[in-house]
Amino acid sequence: MVRDGAPVWPGDTPTSCRWMWSKSQGSAVNVSAMTASPHAGTHADAPLHVRDGWQGTHELPLEVFCGEAAVVTVPWSKADEEIGEAMLFPLLPAGPIERLLLKTGRTVALGAFPETWPAISEACARALLGRGVRLFGVDAPSVDQRESKTLPVHHMVFSGGGFVLENLDLRRVMDGRYELLAFPLKVMAMDAAPVRAVLRDLDQKRYI
């Protein structure tokens, strides 16, 4: 959710939501304005985020952000621990997975920017790409660790033809398979785009 003062990556553009015109002040209509980083709230990173010359937001393929997705809770015991194949793969549901959403519990949806969060390793990202995963989603602010300067998971995912969703709100979502609808806003040649991510329960046909 994007709101006034919503938590953003330290140093990024603060989120501001305000009224420019209001009927209560005599205007004919209510008109609001918003200033925010494209990384505020749930968003899709474009490959341009980590490398000049790679795809911008207007080139993100829509089919990747719509379809069956698996939600998996990631257990971890210490802040700096990478999530490897040995830990993650036994938790994956049987069958092919094209969209994987990892639930870490370290999310800005709680109202503050988390100090730490778990991230999969570069090798794990490579193995997931090999198994057919095309969309890597996390409830944390990044698919890489907070202090990373090289962003190896971003680079591995993008170079392997995958894509990234970050800052998902999975607090009320149980592990399992869902239909994901998470189309990025079509903005030209930027490094990220806001997303309204919705999951549909495949059994009960309800939206989360």
Domains of the chain, start order: 38-201 (3.50.30.50)
Does residue 202 surpass a pLDDT of 70? yes
pLDDT average, residue stretch 64-70: 98
39-to-46, 57, 102, 108, 142 alpha-carbon distances in Å: 11, 12, 18, 12, 10
- Return the SS3 of 100: strand
Give start and end residues of each alpha helix (H) in the chain: 85-88, 122-130, 152-159
User: CA 107 → CA 34, 54, 166, distances in Å?
Assistant: 22, 28, 9
Q: What average pLDDT does the chain have?
A: 94
The pLDDT of residue 77 is 65
39 as an active site residue: the answer is no
Consecutive H or E run containing 45:
strand 43-45
Q: What percent of the chain has pLDDT over 90?
A: 90
- In the chain, the percentage of residues whose pLDDT exceeds 70 is 98
Q: Provide the pairing of β-strand 135-138 with 176-181.
A: unpaired
Angle, CA 160 vertex, CA 155 and CA 161 arms, to 5° = 105
Catalytic residue among 39, 49, 58, 154: 49
Instruction: Assess whether pLDDT exceeds 70 at residue 112.
Output: yes
pLDDT value for 143: 97
Q: What is the mean pLDDT of residues 50-54?
A: 96
On whether the CB atoms of residues 139 and 68 are closer than 8 A, the answer is no
Please, which pLDDT band fits residue 39 given cuts at 50, 70 and 90?
A: very high
Encoded tokens for 20: 């420019």
What confidence tier does 192 reach under pLDDT thresholds 50, 70, 90?
A: very high
Distance CA 131, CA 138 (A): 18
Alpha-carbon distance 44 to 54, whole Å? 14
